[in-house]
Chains A and B, each alone.
Chain A
Amino acid sequence: QKEVEQDPGPLSVPEGAIVSLNCTYSNSAFQYFMWYRQYSRKGPELLMYTYSSGNKEDGRFTAQVDKSSKYISLFIRDSQPSDSATYLCAMSARDDKIIFGKGTRLHILP
């Protein structure tokens, strides 16, 4: 079983819809969780950073962590065509390297 699993997509949704992106993981020691956005031919850009379980909201973005289920989610409200990108989840244990998911390609249709 891979440490981090993420559906590669592509996921296509109409503009204005709520988008849900998810990752599952197997290492119960993970306690730092991140979401990165990567536009085509660009470097990944940090979107959200959360520690342990719970929700974190930043504008149209909400990150959720459920450590009991080893499941994390990123919700995008009022999705825009500019949100079209690849979204990578990432996580790490304390004092350890970050493990990235392979990314989900998201297309927002105007």
Chain B
Amino acid sequence: DSGVTQTPKHLITATGQRVTLRCSPRSGDLSVYWYQQSLDQGLQFLIQYYNGEERAKGNILERFSAQQFPDLHSELNLSSLELGDSALYFCASSPRQEGTQYFGPGTRLTVL
């Protein structure tokens, strides 16, 4: 157990809908990262927050947004969902702005 928690574990929804994924980092970690993993694309970095501020952006679509709250938990919002958004979404945390990341168990999103 990495100490990073993610909810929900599974999410099934329809195209055009909006969902929110939640992540709680390890105790004391200030950075939160979001990744999307699909079979053909591997692990794709979406976005990083450090102590409440956005620090780095990767291949995140405009339909997706995230935030990190004062208690350091983070939420990833996915809207106008498409079939191609079906994937595993992982959250990771680290103590500092960079360095070793510890991954949560992931949320499996299925868009029908």
Contact B106 A42 (CB under 8 A): yes
Q: Can you pick out 30 interface pairs between chain A and chain B where the beta carbons lie within 8 Å of each other?
A: A32-B99, A34-B100, A41-B106, A41-B108, A42-B105, A42-B106, A43-B4, A43-B90, A43-B103, A44-B43, A44-B90, A44-B103, A45-B2, A45-B103, A46-B100, A46-B101, A46-B102, A49-B100, A92-B98, A97-B45, A97-B48, A98-B98, A98-B101, A99-B45, A100-B42, A100-B43, A100-B45, A102-B43, A103-B42, A103-B43
Inter-chain contact total with CB atoms closer than 8 Å: 50
Which residues does chain A contribute within 8 Å of B48, judged by CB atoms? 97
Chain B window 84-112, contacts with chain A (Cβ cutoff 8 Å), 1 for yes, 0 for no: 00001010100001111111111010000
Q: Judge whether B14 is part of the interface by a CB distance below 8 angstroms.
A: no
Which residues does chain A contribute within 8 Å of B98, judged by CB atoms? 92, 94-98
**Contacts A44-B90, A45-B2, A92-B98 known; A102 to B103 CB distance under 8 Å?**
no
Provide the bound-state CA to CA distance between A102 and B102, in Å.
18
Q: Judge whether B8 is part of the interface by a CB distance below 8 angstroms.
A: no
Chain B window 54-88, contacts with chain A (Cβ cutoff 8 Å), 1 for yes, 0 for no: 00101000000000000000000000000000001
Which residues does chain B contribute within 8 Å of A49, judged by CB atoms? 100
18 additional contacts, CB 8 Å, given A43-B106, A46-B101?
Answer: A36-B103, A43-B105, A44-B43, A44-B90, A44-B103, A45-B103, A49-B100, A88-B43, A92-B98, A94-B98, A95-B97, A97-B45, A97-B48, A99-B45, A100-B43, A100-B45, A102-B43, A103-B43
B-side residues, CB < 8 A to A, are 2, 4, 41-43, 45, 48, 56, 58, 88, 90, 92, 97-106, 108
**Contacts A43-B90, A44-B90, A45-B2 known; A98 to B103 CB distance under 8 Å?**
no
Provide the bound-state CA to CA distance between A109 and B102, in Å.
29
